[in-house]
Amino acid sequence: MVVVLGVELYDKGHKSSVKKIIRETGVNNHKARLVSATGAHGLVTAKKDDNFRNVLNKFYLNLPDGMPCVWVGRIRGAKKMTRCYGPDFFSDVMIASANTKINHFLCGGKSGVARNLKKACKDKFENDNIVGLYSPPFRAMADSEFQNLGSKINSSKANIVWIGLGTPKQELFAEKLSHYTKVNFIITVGAAFDFHTGNVKQAPKIIQNIGMEWFFRLCMEPKRLWRRYFSVVPLFIYYNAIDLAWRKNDTNN
């Protein structure tokens, strides 16, 4: 693991993360292990919010969802670190588990999104092991509602619960849900639901690889995303520059 803005990020690479999930699913499902695909937005939020940072550091894995996270991690010495992009992580796990007994539960999105994603999993990834769907309300859920959802998930015999609600809501939701479920993993993957159902257009790979996906998404959804990115991008650069300067100073002393 490598620490970026106070959060431990997985540094063994995308392929390793997929293999790890497949290998460990079906083993010791008495306590759900939490996994997040965490990018600059999540790390900046964690830097400003101690409670959210503490929640993220309870997660079993925080996957580096964006290239800027990877660049900082490599500067810190994590040479094997690669981007673990939420939508790609989702699709690769779906493909790898298609002919296994691993069952999936989809939780997130507006009404109908989870249902469309179930169809996409069958059509695009040849995975028909989707055993449950749920679209959470936009308001905060009561403990009794989490308990009912946990019972529904447990009854479905799901091994992995996928959550697509956006940061930081999805991570807080996952942590709360983990107290009511007996699955192997609860994994938050941000916009993967909308990307794989075609609701939102993905940036071309070349744009993703140079770390400019945020700009592409901003152009696609300016009214919804401009406040986020005009705050997150400068703060991510600023916080990491300060952090790296402090580390360099400590090393020189």
Residue position matching structure tokens 């529904």? 152
pLDDT at 103: 97
Secondary structure (3-state) at 101: coil
pLDDT at 191: 82
Distance of CA 130 to the CA centre of its chain: 19
Task: List, in sequence order, the alpha helices (H) in the chain.
Answer: 14-24, 40-48, 50-56, 67-75, 86-96, 113-125, 143-156, 169-177, 192-196, 205-209, 213-220, 222-252
pLDDT at 215: 76
pLDDT by residue, tens only, the chain of 253 residues:
899 999 999 999 999 999 999 999 977 666 799 999 999 999 999 999 999 999 999 999 999 998 989 999 998 889 999 999 999 999 999 999 999 999 999 998 777 888 999 999 999 999 999 999 999 988 889 999 999 999 999 999 999 999 999 899 999 999 999 999 999 999 999 888 888 887 777 777 888 777 787 777 777 777 777 677 778 888 988 888 888 777 665 555 5
> For residues 182 and 30, is the Cβ–Cβ distance under 8 A?
yes
pLDDT at 249: 56
pLDDT at 253: 54
pLDDT at 28: 64
Directed axis angle between helix 222-252 and helix 213-220, to 10°?
A: 160
Residue from 183, 149, 152 nearest 60 by CA: 183
pLDDT at 211: 77
